[in-house]
């Protein structure tokens, strides 16, 4: 589900909106530029058996060889260590050194990779053009992780959209300058680190030879390593929060879904100051980014599509750009102790399907009707998140309705 969410063009549009909001006045904001030379890379060598790789070599390749075999480079940068998760990316460029060629000028595209992949200890000798035997955990032509995990299609899973393109000719340095989609890719990877699968280097494969060799992160010379230059602004508050949803929590992990956190003034009438939505992890945690609020103390008002609205017990201090709050370790973390203990952790009550602040017969009827119609998929009456509306959803909703579960607020 996460991958489908991230692939959705709405995220690309959202990234552009965020960027445009900040770019119009970027001179007034403190900008930071970082040059990142850390990451991992590999080469996909055309081979139907998926036996060749280059996870630890000094080079990566793209294009077609003199014997008409395809090479595709993979490159992924470590962003989380250098860029705050709530930062807004305003500019990006990629510089790489091309060190060997058998062809004239050819366009080399950047395509966003859609699946996680590995680079292990495979290290070819010599010029590395044919790779070496893949090591466990390497990406190959058919594997994301040799030998047990696979691409959906041989040659890698990558976006149909071109993030950037650069004509590469003679030996030397080449820079892919910022495009809106390139900036959007990096923004997505910063905001959602688990989606950072990097770019695939795709050269002209309609003729041959077109192969180009680039220096990798493993190259002996630091100046020849791939370099991603990112400019960003970080004028936000960050809240790291964890909560569990009763129906979605199984005692070990939680089905991932979108949660909205609203920051409210600590004094009556508790007016809304800012809000943020995030797709939380399978352990119910995530960083929520607020771009309008300033450092201060706020009630947390948490909402989910079929869970009862739940507030923090007290206003939470979010200062120095960061705050932390865990609902899961005590019922008292919620206003009015409004949580249920399930399998060792405290959870928000599930079953408020119509989001009116009370779990009652109306919610039960909505679930019952959906179950009778064998409704499936991402629908609100699916209270336990398994994408099937059935008796288990009815049971959760019925129990909470019988216990008169309502939202408890200041």
Residue 213 near residue 101 (C-beta atoms within 8 A): yes
Q: Give every CB contact of residue 216 below 8 A, 6+ residues apart in sequence.
A: 41, 57, 58, 59, 60, 225, 226
pTM: 0.86
pLDDT at site 12: 52
Q: Which two tokens stand for residue 361?
A: 């017969």
Dist. CA 325–CA 241, nearest whole Å: 5
Residue 190 near residue 197 (C-beta atoms within 8 A): no
Dist. CA 184–CA 177, nearest whole Å: 13
Note down pLDDT in tens along the chain; length 410 residues: 444 434 444 445 444 445 444 444 444 468 999 999 999 999 999 999 999 999 999 999 999 999 999 999 999 999 999 999 999 999 999 999 999 999 999 999 999 999 999 999 999 999 999 999 999 999 999 999 999 999 999 999 999 999 999 999 999 999 999 999 999 999 999 999 999 999 999 999 999 999 999 999 999 999 999 999 999 999 899 999 999 999 999 999 999 999 999 999 999 999 999 999 999 999 999 999 999 999 999 999 999 999 999 999 999 999 866 799 999 999 999 999 999 999 999 999 999 999 999 999 999 999 999 999 999 999 999 999 999 999 999 999 999 999 999 999 99
Exposure letters 18-45 (e unless 16+ CB within 10 A, then b): bbeebbeebeeeeeeeeebbebbbbbbb
Alpha-carbon dihedral sign for residues 41, 44, 50, 53: negative
Residue 246 near residue 393 (C-beta atoms within 8 A): no
CATH numbers and ranges of domains, the chain: 2-233 (no CATH), 237-402 (2.60.40.4130)
pLDDT at site 319: 84
Distances (CA, A) of 225 to 17, 95, 186: 32, 9, 19
Dist. CA 222–CA 145, nearest whole Å: 27
């Amino acid at each position: 589900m996460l991958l489908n969410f991230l692939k959705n063009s709405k995220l690309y549009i959202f990234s552009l909106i965020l960027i445009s909001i900040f770019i119009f006045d970027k001179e007034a904001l403190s900008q930071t530029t970082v040059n990142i030379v850390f990451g991992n890379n590999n080469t996909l060598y055309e081979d139907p058996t998926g036996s060749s790789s280059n996870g630890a070599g000094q080079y990566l390749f793209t294009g077609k060889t003199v014997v008409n075999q395809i090479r595709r480079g993979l490159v992924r940068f470590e962003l989380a260590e250098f860029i705050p998760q709530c930062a807004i990316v305003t500019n990006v460029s990629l510089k790489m050194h091309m060190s060997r060629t058998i062809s004239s000028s050819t366009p080399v595209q950047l395509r966003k990779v859609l699946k996680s992949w590995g680079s292990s200890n495979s290290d070819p000798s010599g010029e590395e053009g044919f790779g070496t035997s893949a090591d466990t955990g390497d990406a190959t032509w058919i594997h994301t992780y040799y030998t047990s995990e696979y691409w959906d299609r041989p040659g890698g899973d990558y976006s149909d959209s071109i993030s950037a393109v650069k004509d590469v000719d003679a030996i030397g340095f080449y820079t892919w300058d910022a495009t809106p989609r390139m900036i959007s890719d990096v923004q997505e990877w910063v905001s959602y680190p688990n989606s950072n699968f990097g770019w695939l280097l795709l050269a002209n494969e309609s003729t041959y030879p077109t192969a180009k060799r680039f220096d990798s992160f493993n190259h002996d010379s630091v100046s020849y390593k791939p370099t991603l230059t990112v400019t960003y602004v970080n004028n936000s508050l960050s809240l790291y929060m964890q909560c569990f949803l009763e129906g979605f929590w199984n005692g070990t992990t939680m089905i991932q879904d979108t949660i909205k956190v609203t920051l409210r003034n600590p004094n009556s009438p508790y007016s809304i100051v800012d809000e943020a939505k995030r797709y939380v992890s399978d352990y119910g945690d995530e960083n929520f980014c607020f771009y309008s609020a300033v450092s201060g103390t706020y009630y947390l008002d948490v909402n989910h599509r079929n869970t009862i609205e739940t507030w923090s017990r007290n206003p939470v201090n979010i200062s120095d750009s960061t705050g932390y709050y865990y609902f899961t370790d005590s019922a008292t973390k919620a206003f009015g102790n409004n949580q249920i203990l399930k399998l060792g952790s405290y959870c928000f009550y599930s079953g408020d399907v119509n989001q009116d602040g009370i779990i009652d017969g109306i919610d039960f009827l909505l679930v019952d009707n959906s179950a009778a119609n064998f409704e499936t998929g991402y629908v609100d009456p699916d209270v336990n998140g398994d994408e099937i509306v059935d008796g288990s959803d009815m049971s959760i909703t019925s129990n909470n309705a019988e216990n008169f579960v309502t939202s408890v607020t200041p």
